[in-house]
Amino acid sequence: MQGEPFSDELTKRLARARSVVVLTGAGISAESGIATFRDAGGIWSKFRPEELANVEAFLANPDLVQGWYRERKRIASEAQPNPGHEALVTLEAEIEDFTLITQNVDNLHRRAGSRNVVELHGNIARSYCIDCNASYEEQGEQSEPDLNAAARCEDCGGLIRPDVVWFGELLPADAIEQAFQAARRASVCLSIGTSAVVYPAADVPLAARTNGAYVAEINVEPSAIAAMLNETVLGRSGKVLPCLVDAALQARQSMNQQAS
């Protein structure tokens, strides 16, 4: 398609694809107003990941870390899915074997209507007690938490933490299993809005590539794994994804008409 930032090759492969795997990172939520991690001004420009997203930091400073996640939960719940999230919902409806793997914990893919979502790093809408595992789902009418004391479990008094994967913690085994199975059988993989510096998530597009998939990334700048992929599409995902999905579905339609 003339003037599009993506190739005809990608459009055709997506149009023909039976099995597609998508990896998303914080960049797909940037246009929903949620700051990314590593961009200038990103949420980690103030704090370093090591300071907050690990168990030691949490145990040393539970109210600081709980406060950081409370703020991120508020921002995420006030944010709306953007056309990038919505384009993936449209694509999922057309591809018989579609897996959306996200590193994001903001819940926007599910709120947009995506169904087969694999949350590699958890979801801040869920919390749990570190001592007795009691779960504390997001309650809309949550009473204003006592901002000074760290939130503790009603049953046992243990500290409550967000249900996310911190550095040095293992990812949920079922999520990892599902992600790499999908990557191994995909004919097309889209890596969207991720700097691809965090592992094992960044291995998903690489596993797809090793197994013969056509792998394209959509990002405003090349990621750390760009050189190992088939294509880098430069542009904002909220703008590029709807065009790419439209082009692929149109190509699929004309293929089907020719075939019939």
Which of Zn ion, ligand BV8, none binds 134 (CB below 5-8 Å, type-dependent)? Answer: Zn ion
133 Rama class: left (phi>0) / alpha (psi -120 to 50) / beta: left
Long-range contacts at 229-235 (CB < 8 A, ≥ 24 apart): 229/191, 229/205, 230/9, 230/10, 231/6, 231/7, 231/9, 231/10, 233/5, 233/6, 233/10, 234/5, 235/5
Q: How far is the CB of 256 from ligand BV8 (least distance, A)?
A: 31
Structure tokens at 104: 């994001």
Which of ligand BV8, Zn ion, none binds 153 (CB below 5-8 Å, type-dependent)? Answer: Zn ion
Q: How far is the CB of 130 from Zn ion (least distance, A)?
A: 8
Q: Among the options 121, 161, 236, 252, which is catalytic?
A: 121
191 touching ligand BV8, by CB under 6 A? no
Site for Zn ion in 132-161 (CB under 5 A): 132, 134, 153, 155-156, 158
CA distance 28 to 194: 8
Site for ligand BV8 in 118-157 (CB under 6 A): 121
CA distance 85 to 118: 14
Which of ligand BV8, Zn ion, none binds 38 (CB below 5-8 Å, type-dependent)? Answer: ligand BV8
**Catalytic residue check, 121:** yes
Site for Zn ion in 220-239 (CB under 5 A): none
Question: Binding residues for Zn ion, per CB under 5 A?
Answer: 129, 131-132, 134, 153, 155-156, 158
